Amino acid sequence: MIKFPGITQELHTVRDWLRFAVSRFEESSIFFGHGTDNAYDEAVWLVLSALHLPHDTLDNFLDARLLEPERTRLKELIRRRITDRVPTAYLVNEAWLKGYKFYVDERVIVPRSFIAELLEDGLSPWIEYPEMIESAADICTGSGCLGVLLANTFPNAAIDVVDISPDALAVANINIRNYGLEDQVTPIESDMFSNLEGRSYDLIISNPPYVDAPSMALLPQEYRNEPQIALGSGSAGLDHTATLLREAKKHLNDNGLLVVEIGHNRDALLEAYPQLPFTWLEVDSGNEFVFLLTKEQLP
């Protein structure tokens, strides 16, 4: 176990703790990928969030001196990040997605989705008038983050956020309340479509589990500290996607859209469904990760 003897007496300012955290992260073998990709950004996030300081005013606080309880807390958080490989999002109970702050804990995976990027543009040009979307669902919602973004993008839509895990829906409820969306966003406990009988939507989105079996075996410890039910999806990573393709049609209104994120499984998906006319949506990382199908194109 890593110990930091005496450091609470030697490190006094925010600047001191940032330098210390960056050094410890750099010399460790921790994995970045839950909101940052380097030791400096990870340290800034952890230190400022743990001290309840705004992230966009770092320079104003660099020379602020910490109280003893704050130093003790930071020491423990840095230790847990390195020794236990706990993602920073869990340590500070927050994650960010396209400028939105979400509460998270170990009951849900840390939010990350290419669909969030697409919702910034209202899924244009496939949806010409966002105000015409009156109903939408987020299947496998986890923390409810995409449901919150759906509500922001489509203010006239009634949103259902669906997950098999009651623990995940408890977290989703926190985020729904934090954004004052109780009248627009409804959490539903359901194994995908199993409890959605009679419900139909103009738009269904999903960032389902999609990690294949070989990749699951190689995940860094940070990902193993997330709920595994939210990651793995069978040998090829397509089990949940197959359910979406099989059942979404009866839950879509005429001209409705299905938008699904599949990670790195494009080739496997095309091999499994060569007859489907997938539209691959462009995001900053490329056009291999999210597909769109209309109701009429679904089998």
pLDDT tens track for 265-277: 999 999 999 999 9
The mean pLDDT value for 269-288 works out to 92
78: nearest Cα among 90, 68, 88, 63:
88
Q: What is the pLDDT of residue 123?
A: 94
For 38, phi and psi rounded to 5 degrees?
-155, 165
The mean pLDDT value for 116-130 works out to 93
Q: How many domains does the chain have?
A: 2
For 68, phi and psi rounded to 5 degrees?
-55, -45
**Residue 83 belongs to domain spanning:** 7-92
Average pLDDT, the chain: 93
Residue 231 has pLDDT above 90, yes or no: no
Q: Do 150 and 276 fall within a single domain? A: yes
User: 103 is written with which tokens?
Assistant: 């509460």
The mean pLDDT value for 64-82 works out to 95
Question: How far is it, in rounded angstroms, from Cα 56 to Cα 256?
Answer: 40
Question: How far is it, in rounded angstroms, from Cα 117 to Cα 263?
Answer: 14
Peptide linkage before 125 cis (omega within 30 of 0): yes
Q: Do 187 and 254 fall within a single domain? A: yes
Q: What is the pLDDT of residue 14?
A: 95
Q: Do 20 and 76 fall within a single domain? A: yes
Block residue for tokens 């966002």: 130
Q: What is the pLDDT of residue 10?
A: 85
Of 76, 92, 108, the last residue of a domain is 92
Say if residues 205 and 139 touch (Cβ distance below 8 Å): yes
Q: Do 116 and 82 fall within a single domain? A: no
Q: What is the pLDDT of residue 2?
A: 60
229 CB-contact burial (10 Å; exposed 0-12 / middle 13-18 / buried 19+)? middle
Q: Do 112 and 249 fall within a single domain? A: yes
The strand pairing partners of 185, in sequence order, are 159
Tell me the whole-structure pTM to 2 decimals. 0.91
Where does the pLDDT of residue 228 fall: very low under 50, low under 70, confident under 90, or very high at 90 and above? Answer: confident
> Tell me: the pLDDT tens digits for 125-156?
999 999 999 999 999 999 999 999 999 999 99
Residue 285 has pLDDT above 90, yes or no: no
Q: What is the pLDDT of residue 287?
A: 81
User: 230 is written with which tokens?
Assistant: 């939210």
Residue 5 has pLDDT above 60, yes or no: no
Q: What is the pLDDT of residue 149?
A: 97
Of 92, 121, 152, the last residue of a domain is 92
